[in-house]
Every structure is written in structure tokens, then in C-alpha cells.
Amino acid sequence: MSKKKNSELSNKLADIVVFGMQEKKAHSILKMDMREVNATLSDYFVVCNADSNVQVNAIAQSVEDEVYKAFGQNVWHKEGQGNGEWILLDFVDVVVHIFKTEARDRYRLEDLWGDAKVESFKSA
């Protein structure tokens, strides 16, 4: 598969992730284009936050469901679903970070990757 075609697919995957987040009213959704950032393997990071552990878990499930419906693809690796503070869903080309609001404020992930192109989305 050509790099351009693969890049288009990863962009569509990131957009489906955003939709899954919006379905559960995630806050401050950012799609970070990591393709020009050194030392990253993924094309996109998609980041959001939620007010409660329950909402963090609901957003993660919604993202997984929407990606499966659109692409028939399951998450490759998942971390953090036990504590509900920060869930990471790794779809290889797209890595999803779902934070509880306090954890997002503490880790400030966006600041670590400040040279990425960022697109913001509103909650549904």
C-alpha cells in the first residue's frame, strides 16, 4: 500500500475515533497529526477528557465500537481501563488517549508534542 493511501486511511481512522468520542460527549477533543514529528510511530494521537471514571470508560467503549463498525478493526493494545483515570487505545496508526479531566491537566500530553499540527473538535 502506498504511503499516501495509508496516510488517508489513518486520517479516516482518527476521524472515526473523534466521532466515537463525540457520541459520549467527550471534552476538549484534539486530533494531533504526528506524521512530521520525530520519534513517533503513529500517524495521529487523538486526545480528550471526561468528568468521571464512568464517562472515561464509556468513551473508550464508544471509540472501540465505532472503529469496529467502520473498519472491522479491534484495538491492538489497551491500557488503563481498570482505573478510569487514563485509558490508552492503540490502533497502531492512531493512538487514543482518554483522560479524566484532572489527569489530563496533570500530564499535559499536548505540551509534550507541541510541534504536532492540532485540530480541535467540539463535543456532540
CATH number of the domain to which 112 belongs: 3.30.460.10
Position 59: which residue type? I
How far CA 38 is from CA of 6, 42, 54, in Å, comes to 18, 11, 34
The shares of helix, strand and coil residues in the chain, as percent rounded to the nearest 5, are: 40, 25, 30
pTM: 0.91
**What is the per-residue pLDDT across 21-77, written as a single tens digit (0 to 9) for each?**
999 999 999 999 999 887 678 999 999 999 999 999 999 999 999 999 999 999 999
Question: By residue range, what is the domain housing residue 95?
Answer: 3-121
Position 101: which residue type? T
Q: Total structural domains in the chain?
A: 1
Q: Is residue 5 predicted with pLDDT exceeding 90?
A: no
